[in-house]
């Protein structure tokens, strides 16, 4: 089975029942879960935690088939290097570093990345396979 890393925006679409993206995100999760292992890492867990009062609530909301995988050290290094490139190109947002961890994780472990946020991943992690609405 191949592994799919689920970006936080997909899970937030489902948890918040986003009127624009809920259907697409939930359909993608269902389809990909048939033949793949669905995964999140600690960065994604942290990003989605803001919608919950405590970790027990979040743990109960996460579907049991979603695996929790560690972030490899190699991915952390790659994320830092990609973030430096972003800053050198004039990137001004400070809050983007989590996206670089997610992209680097998908890249170093050759995972498909399910996301709606393609621009940064395509630019800084061009080898990452993306499942997107586009």
d(CA 116, CA 134) in angstroms, rounded, equals 8
Tell which residue, 121, 129, 84, 127, has the closest CA to residue 9: 121
**What share of the chain in percent tops pLDDT 90?**
78
Distance of CA 64 to the CA centre of its chain: 17
Asked if residue 101 has pLDDT above 90, the reply is yes
According to the model, what pLDDT value does residue 42 have? Answer: 95
d(CA 100, CA 82) in angstroms, rounded, equals 7
| pLDDT confidence bin for 95, thresholds 50/70/90 | low
Four-CA torsion 43, 45, 46, 49, nearest 10 degrees: 160
Neighbouring C-alpha atoms within 13 Å toward the C-beta of 30: 7
According to the model, what pLDDT value does residue 86 have? Answer: 85
How many domains, in total, are found in the chain? 1
Phi, psi of 109 (to 5 degrees): -110, 10
Asked if residue 93 has pLDDT above 70, the reply is no
pTM of the complete model: 0.90
Each residue's pLDDT tens digit, 56-89: 999 999 999 999 999 999 999 999 899 888 888 8
Each residue's pLDDT tens digit, 105-119: 999 999 999 999 888
CATH of the domain at 85: 3.40.50.1010
d(CA 54, CA 86) in angstroms, rounded, equals 33
Least trusted range by pLDDT, from 4-8, 14-18, 55-59, 85-89: 85-89
According to the model, what pLDDT value does residue 94 have? Answer: 57
Report the SS3 class of residue 67: strand
Q: Which ranges of 1-134 would DSSP assign to H, the alpha helix?
A: 8-15, 22-33, 42-48, 55-61, 73-88, 97-108, 119-124
Report the SS3 class of residue 50: helix
Structural domain boundaries enclosing 66:
2-131
Asked if residue 91 has pLDDT above 80, the reply is no
């Amino acid at each position: 089975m191949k592994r799919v890393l689920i970006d936080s925006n997909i899970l937030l679409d489902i948890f918040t029942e986003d009127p624009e993206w809920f259907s697409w995100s939930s359909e993608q999760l269902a389809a990909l879960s048939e033949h793949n292992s669905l995964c999140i890492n600690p960065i994604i867990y942290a990003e989605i935690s803001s919608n919950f009062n405590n970790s027990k609530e979040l743990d109960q909301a996460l579907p049991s088939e979603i695996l929790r995988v560690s972030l490899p050290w190699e991915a952390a290094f790659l994320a830092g290097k990609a973030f430096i490139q972003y800053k050198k190109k004039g990137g001004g947002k400070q809050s983007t570093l989590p996206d670089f961890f997610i992209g680097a994780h998908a890249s170093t472990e050759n995972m498909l990345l399910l996301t709606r946020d393609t621009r940064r991943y395509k630019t800084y992690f061009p080898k990452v396979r993306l499942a997107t609405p586009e």
